Structure 1
């Protein structure tokens, strides 16, 4: 996957509001004169996505056929940035993923990125990529669990990512740092610890906002904080690779041919492969389907990982690691009510807390 243009840590400020994404700016980052553009829609969420239709002056001599529609993704919602200023780190991380990693992972299904940028002035990160919606793709919805066959295909995509980035070792057996720009580590722990503070915890667990499926023993804020900290402190380097970090259904798409892929690489980090595997499997299936097919899906992940050049593990070797990392999904029970609608939060929390109970996750972490 080739990147046409990109500039990280630029001294020139990138756009921070939708009106700053102009034809002139698009011309600059795409390297071809855009004489006009039309904003199809703007979608605000954790990150903002601006869908543009572009009209070019002349594409003669261009190496690639430039897209008629693009998605410009970054931090364009001043209100959400005022509430959560640390989100700029996530926007930069996604730009870094498409700049550094996407050209290297040949098996992972990704939209084409046309420009990746970040700046020093605002901490902004922007990716200009294909508009998948105009290419016949649909997007995953947490309220619509997937059939087992599609989850199996999604597991194969995670195995491809992990196999192609599994942490290599030096001749002395020490883990190499092949991704120095990820030296800051995962953004996930800091975000979770913030959500575990009394005020945000109080908003989520207030009457009418508390997810109804959270068992009584998971409503102890200090206990859940300690469990997360134990999970992070015990990360086993044998399983380290690049992880997506937030591999749930809302961060997926399905091609016109029915093949799944992952989007929203803002949580990218070096970490345990099992940050991704149970988080995806548990969140993508109904509780009943997960209970029936989970073991087979984990075994399929492991066999695909080995077939694509990653290490070979038996399920028995990794099963406790899988059970521990079911904890990852409890993040949904902490989600600020302003970030996700309650029907989505409640559906996801039901799946993750059921898995934590089934796997004895808390007891395993506290042992």
Structure 2
């Protein structure tokens, strides 16, 4: 097999390549034609849907597949290489069968080339699932689906020291130091403020300034349970099932997977996933829902009180994702709107939960 995304344009993949793939993985089928179409608006990677026309279609042969490949943006490529995004996503699918395929699309093929930082991921197509909309926000029912998946993810490797074996997984004992220091992240906030100053209100700037000045201590001071975490656990990375979809929800974009604090995913999702008006109405009940699912999955050593304390602490995390990503990936109109919306929602989340006192 040649290596799509590594040695050619994925939009030009041939029936022969997929026939080789199906033979390799044990699917009895012969593709005679296909169409390939770019989908989505990924900031770090490009996605393509492949629709097959078969000469022979055996059991298990998919009507469609989705491939993920490197970004066409030089800025995004540089960011992905600096932060290890492409290698990490491929290795996640190869390493964690307790969650990969269960709360994610199934992976048919993964490839990564260390020398060139090129990658390819061929996945189950989740159509007719619909991608969550970070700007619109989600319903309580959708939030519960997401948080139930978070509980599955976190419980699978709760306090599991085997995570430290993986040098490609962020936050492990074997991993190199983060590519960006807390001081550098704080510098991104300064650049963000300058670029978007006309769109930032004084209350948001106050929270951002306090958080940025506290980043060195904030990033080191927290103590609590660890697990396998997503670290970009937000609506745009979730596919919600519609009638006929393979799963009720599937989580994608595992480029930031880490050994981290479970409450980080939860605070990040709730803070940006619900609108400013809806979050305060449902915040505590959603936290209870997640905690109940975590307990059902066998995690009994983490009290709700501890969860809420950690939730307050990590209410700031989404701000650094918003202003950091805005300054590091290709700039788009929707990206600007999304990052500003996330930033505002997380600033309000921190204020509403009296989290600013944790930074002083």
Q: TM-score, normalised by structure 2?
A: 0.82
Asked if 1:338 is matched to 2:335, the reply is: no
In the aligned structure 1, how far is the partner of 2:137 from the partner of 2:164? 36
Contact 2:11–2:37 (CA under 8 A) maintained in structure 1:
no
Which one of the candidate residues 66, 85, 90 is aligned to 2:85? 90
Report deviation, 1:205.
Answer: 3.0
Q: What CA distance in whole angstroms lies between the structure 2 residues aligned with 1:278 and 1:51?
A: 32
1:52-74 per-position Cα deviation (integer Å, ceiling 9, x unaligned): 123345455xxx51212111102
Change beyond 3 A, Cα 1:199–1:58: same
Following superposition, the deviation at residue 87 of structure 1 comes to 6.0
How far did 1:110 drift?
2.1
- Contact (CA 8 Å) 2:231, 2:264: kept in 1 or not? yes
The Cα shift of 1:225 comes to 3.5
Q: 2:221 matched to which residue of 1?
A: 234
CA pair 89-341 structure 1, distance change in 2 beyond 3 A: same
Q: Would the alpha carbon gap of residues 248 and 30 (structure 1) be closer, same or farther in structure 2, given more than 3 Å must change?
A: same
Distance 1:242 1:59 in 2: 38
State the distance in 2 between where 1:144 and 1:76 align: 25
Change (3 A) 1:124 1:167: farther
- Kindly provide the CA deviation profile for residues 319-341 of structure 1, in whole angstroms up to 9, marking residues without a partner as x: 22110101111021342371553
Shift in Å, 1:106: 8.1
Report the aligned-residue RMSD: 3.3
User: Where in structure 2 are the equivalents of 1:161-310 lying within 5 Å?
Assistant: 161-168=153-160, 175-177=161-163, 179-182=165-168, 184-185=170-171, 190=179, 193=182, 196=185, 198=187, 201-203=190-192, 205-206=194-195, 210-212=199-201, 215-220=204-209, 223-236=210-223, 238-257=224-243, 259-310=248-299
Structure 2 CA distance for partners of 1:88 and 1:309, relative to 1, 3 Å = same
Match of 1:115 among 109, 113, 133: 109
TM-score under structure 1 length normalisation: 0.80
The match for 2:129 is 137
CA gap of 1:225–1:190, structure 2 versus 1, over 3 A, is: farther
Stretch moving more, 191-200 or 28-37: 191-200
Total equivalences in the alignment: 343
SS of match in other structure, 1:48: strand
Unaligned runs of at least 5 residues, structure 1 = 1-6, 169-174
User: Which stretch shows the higher mean deviation, 14-23 or 300-309?
Assistant: 14-23
